[in-house]
Amino acid sequence: MSINSASQNHPHPQGAGWTLAQNFPKKYLWVFLYLAFTSVFIYTSFSEWNYDDAYITYRYAANLASGGGFVYNPGERVLSTTTPLFTILLAASSFLWDDIPHTANVLGVLGISLGALFLWDMCQQKNLVLAGSACLVLYPTFPLLVTTIGLETPLYIAFCLGAIAIYERKQYSIAAVFSALACLTRPDGILIPIILAANYILTHRSLPPLKPVLIFSLFVLPWLVFTFLYFGTPVPAALVTKQNQGSMIVSERFGTGVLTVLRPYARRLFYISEFILGLVGMGAFLFKQKKVWSILFTWTFIYFMTYTLLGVSRYPWYYAPLVPAFVVATGLGLTVLSQFKPDNLKRNWQYLPGVLSIVMIAIFGIGQVFHVRQIKDSPDQRREIYRAVGDWLSENTLDNDLVGTLEVGIIGYHSQRPMLDFAGLLQPEIGSRLGPDTSYSDVALWATENYHPQYLVLQDQLYPSLEESYAAEFCQTVKQFPGEDYGYPGKLSIFKCSFP
């Protein structure tokens, strides 16, 4: 029997009910153990990991939890976060654990573990045991994914994979729930229900059942109505801003940026080996049996093309949704290797290809773990100095003092002051001024002249036009943070400004 053939049913002599009762606890016990072990293993290594951008969402969650509304700056109804569901989850959980950044990391590791289980389930449905094992090992240790902890990305991918896996089990109503959760976690999650609906129409030659459509609508429509009434639009302001950022000379767009992101992986032999096996797996399974993995690979391709056409700036977490297809392709390549048994191979050596495939999974997994540990030992250099700046602002400024800076995440979260974002994520008017003919220094000067912040937080020598004109005339330095005290390559200065 081949690895793709369906297994035979052998009814238990005491009845199917007895068999189910016996197998159910064992099956879900190991699932729980895997979920717990993997989540704890990742969290203990990355509990302090975060990105500056994530703190924008954290502040939305904090304001929502405290009754301040779904806003970043008090009274400013601008949708600057792209992940409403993640924001709501963080706000709700803050009543149990008032540490939003660490809660986000917990949700992230759970998302990674669940994503691995959903990939494994897809393989199990196709009787691809070896590929499923590869997913359980390689997916939760892949650095491009693990380093997105703290963002909504791991949970978003888990919802997408859950929708696909459950759809393939023909449980369409539950798949509709996961599709809706994916959409509410990130707007590009809409690709999942579109692809699933198209697959259903092509497969069954009929429209999808009404019940899943209604379930999906019941989850998504209330949010759409809320965004129109509350923000005036369901489109996040950050989307347009990041498109404009991508057009700047100092930025790199998503499509070409993939080469930059993958460059560190191309220097390691085991990733090259995974890539080669992935090509083998794609050739042997995708093209010979296109329907088997069509949904996952179609989603991956359309996702990549969508972000490329949007022309958004190269943010590393945008590439994490490409990881599931890569891991599956590698697992399929290992399956091909395990089935390779030349006629002249001695009988005693028939199991060698299978053993070699298992050994390679272990080698790849160990290699990825070491790579992840190396990344973990080189955290974001901005974190400590930005937090110190935020704490100083919290202690030395008034509650309604406006603070202007380029990266508002950590500083804004810890200062809890109204923020003026030179990158345009919080103020769409600023984001609209970003383009191929402008620099962040130009935009910072324009924003300062038009919004008149009481304080400026400036990186050393990054804003010459602002420091030499507006800041020199209307501001004075009140605090400096030497970079060497925080492991940061540069100096941060806080200016107090008076209105011209």
Tell me the pLDDT tens digit for each residue of 22-65. 555 666 788 889 999 999 999 988 888 888 999 999 999 999 99
Of the pLDDT bands very low, low, confident and very high (cuts 50, 70, 90), residue 347 is: low
Structure tokens at 280: 């083998």
* Cα–Cα nearest to 319, from 369, 254, 365, 273: 254
- Looking at domain 382-497, its CATH class is alpha beta
Burial of 223 (0-12, 13-18, 19+ CB in 10 A): middle
Given this model, what pLDDT does residue 349 score? 64
Who contacts 3 (Cβ-Cβ below 8 Å, separation ≥6)? 127, 128, 129, 130, 335, 339
Q: What is the DSSP string of 218-287?
A: HHHHHHHHHHHHHTS-SS-HHHHHHHHHHTSTT--BHHHHHHHHHHHHHTSHHHHHHHHHHHHHIIIIIT
Say how far apart CA 162 and CA 121 lie, in whole Å: 9
Stretch among 128-142, 366-380, 391-405 having the lowest mean pLDDT: 366-380
Say how far apart CA 336 and CA 358 lie, in whole Å: 12
The residue assigned the tokens 């879900």 is: 28
Of the pLDDT bands very low, low, confident and very high (cuts 50, 70, 90), residue 351 is: confident
Cα distances from 77 to residues 60, 185, 243, 256, 288, in angstroms, run 11, 19, 21, 34, 52
Strand bridging mode 403-405 / 455-459: parallel
Cα distances from 421 to residues 265, 394, 431, 448, in angstroms, run 33, 17, 9, 10
Of the pLDDT bands very low, low, confident and very high (cuts 50, 70, 90), residue 13 is: very low
Domain boundaries, the chain: 16-376, 382-497
pLDDT, averaged across the chain: 90
378 or 488, greater pLDDT: 488
416 or 346, greater pLDDT: 416
Of the pLDDT bands very low, low, confident and very high (cuts 50, 70, 90), residue 381 is: confident
Of the pLDDT bands very low, low, confident and very high (cuts 50, 70, 90), residue 487 is: confident
Helices 16-46 and 352-376, axial angle in degrees (round to 10):
40
pLDDT in tens, 456-482: 999 988 898 898 899 999 999 999 999
Q: Is the pLDDT of residue 80 over 80?
A: yes
Listed ranges 91-100, 247-256, 337-346; the one with the highest mean pLDDT: 91-100
Given this model, what pLDDT does residue 200 score? 97
pLDDT in tens, 187-213: 999 999 999 999 999 999 999 999 999
pTM for the whole structure: 0.91
Say how far apart CA 135 and CA 121 lie, in whole Å: 10
458 or 9, greater pLDDT: 458
294 or 160, greater pLDDT: 160
Neighbours of 435 (CB within 10 A): 13
pLDDT in tens, 249-262: 888 999 999 999 99
Given this model, what pLDDT does residue 348 score? 62
* Cα–Cα nearest to 483, from 475, 492, 471, 474: 492
Strand bridging mode 455-459 / 475-482: unpaired
Given this model, what pLDDT does residue 341 score? 72
The residue assigned the tokens 């016996």 is: 22
Quick one: which H or E segment has residue 453?
Answer: none
* Cα–Cα nearest to 446, from 467, 422, 412: 422
Of the pLDDT bands very low, low, confident and very high (cuts 50, 70, 90), residue 345 is: low
Q: Is the pLDDT of residue 294 over 80?
A: yes
Say how far apart CA 174 and CA 171 lie, in whole Å: 6
